[in-house]
Amino acid sequence: MNHTADPRPGRPYDRSRDALVLATTLDLLAEHPYGRVTLDDVAARTGRAKTTLYRRWATKDELVLAAVRSMGRPPEDGELPDRGSLRADLLAVIDSPWLGGPDRRSALFTGLSAAARSSEPLAALVRTEVTEPYVAIYRRLLERAVDRGELPAGLTPRIPTLAAVIPAMSDLQLAGATRAGTRRDFFVAVVDDVVLAAIRGAAASPGAGGLIGSVEG
C-alpha cells in the first residue's frame, strides 16, 4: 500500500494580505451601508479571490468582526492628551487622527452602529473595543482635572456619569446618522453644552467644593 500521498488538503492560506483585506473592509463600511458591503467588493479592491476570502472568514460577519479587532483601541487609551485644560483635552480626543480622523471615524462608526443592530457579537465587540475604552478615557481626563484643581473635588462622585455622556450620546446619534456620519460640531456641542454645562451647574451647587479653574481654556 502506498503511504506517500501528500497529506496537505490544499495550498496553505497566504495571510500576507490579511491587513489589507481588513483595512479595505473598514473603508467599505465607512463608505456604504452594511447591507451593501459584500465579500465581492472586498475581493475586487484587494485583488483576492472571493473563495480565498471564504477560506479565511466563513461569513461577512466574521470578516467584519476581524476588521473591528484589527482597529485596536483609541490611542488616547494608552496616553491621555495634555492640552492644558479639560475642554482642550476632551476636544483632543474628538479630533484624534485615529482611524483617519473625526469625519472618517464617524462615518465608519455609523456603519458599525447599523451592523451592530443585527449582530449581537458585533455589538458586544464594539462595546468592549470602542465604547468602554472611550468611557475610560473620559473618566481619566475628568479625574486628572480634579487632581489638577481644575474641577472641585466634590464632583468626584459624578465622574462615572459624566464620563459616559459623550459615548452614550455618540451611540444615540450614530444610530440615526446618514452615511456622511455625524459631524464634529455635534461632538463639540456635547462637550460644551452637556458635559461642561453639567460640570458648571454641579460646581455651583452648595457643597461642590469650589469654583472651576481652567476647565474651559
Write the DSSP string, 91-145.
HHHHT--GGGSHHHHHHHHHHHHHHHTT-HHHHHHHIIIIIHHHHHHHHHHHHHH
Inside any domain, residue 103: yes
Asked whether residue 209 is domain-assigned, the answer is no
| In a shared domain, residues 53 and 141 | no
Average pLDDT over residues 90-97: 96
With bands split at pLDDT 50, 70 and 90, how would you rate the model's confidence at 1?
very low
Residue located via cell numbers 490544499: 10
* Number of structural domains found in the chain: 2
Domain assignment present for residue 214? The answer is no
Boundary of a domain, candidates 69, 89, 109: 69
Q: Is the same domain home to 35 and 98?
A: no
Residue 13 within any structural domain of the chain: no
- pTM value? 0.84
What's the whole-number average pLDDT of the chain? 87
Is the pLDDT higher at 208 or at 163? Answer: 163
Q: What is the DSSP letter of 98?
A: G
Record the cell numbers describing residue 214, joined without a space. 481652567
101 and 46 inside one domain: no
105 lies in the same domain as 198: yes
Rounded Cα gap, residues 213 and 85, in angstroms: 9
Burial (CB < 10 A; 0-12, 13-18, 19+), residue 207, is exposed
- Phi/psi at 150 (5° precision): -70, -30
Task: Check whether residue 65 and residue 83 sit in a common domain.
Answer: no
Separation of alpha carbons 83 and 123, rounded Å: 32
Looking at the fold, whether 110 and 194 belong to one and the same domain comes out as yes
Asked whether residue 95 falls in the same domain as residue 186, the answer is yes
In a domain, 36, yes or no: yes
What's the pLDDT at 10?
Answer: 52
Q: Does the pLDDT value for residue 62 go beyond 70?
A: yes
Asked if 50 and 85 sit in the same domain, the reply is: no
Phi (first) and psi of residue 73, to 5 degrees: -115, 160
**Amino acid, single-letter form, for residue 8:** R
Asked whether the predicted pLDDT for residue 58 surpasses 60, the reply is yes
Using a pLDDT cut of 70, give the percent of the chain over it.
Answer: 83
CA distance linking residue 94 with residue 76, whole number of Å:
10
Identify whether the C-beta of residue 131 lies closer than 8 Å to the C-beta of residue 167: yes
Mean pLDDT across 55-76: 95
Q: If pLDDT is split at 50, 70 and 90, which confidence band does 204 have?
A: confident
CATH of the domain at 89: 1.10.357.10
Question: Which tens digits make up the pLDDT trace of 78-91?
Answer: 999 999 999 999 99
* Position 211 in a domain: no
Residue 34 Cα to chain centre, angstroms: 17
Are 78 and 169 in a shared domain? yes
My answer on whether 83 and 184 are in the same domain is yes
Tens-place pLDDT, residues 113-147: 888 888 999 999 999 999 999 999 999 999 999 99
The answer as to whether 147 is a domain residue is yes
Q: Do 53 and 154 sit in the same domain of this protein? A: no
**Mean pLDDT value of segment 102-123:** 89
**Residues 198, 115 share a domain:** yes
Q: Which residues span the domain enclosing 32?
A: 18-69
Helix axes 39-46, 60-70, angle to 10 degrees: 60
Range of weakest confidence among 10-14, 154-158, 169-173: 10-14
Distances (CA, A) of 171 to 20, 162, 208, 211: 28, 15, 30, 31
CA angle 120, 123, 124 (to 5 degrees): 85
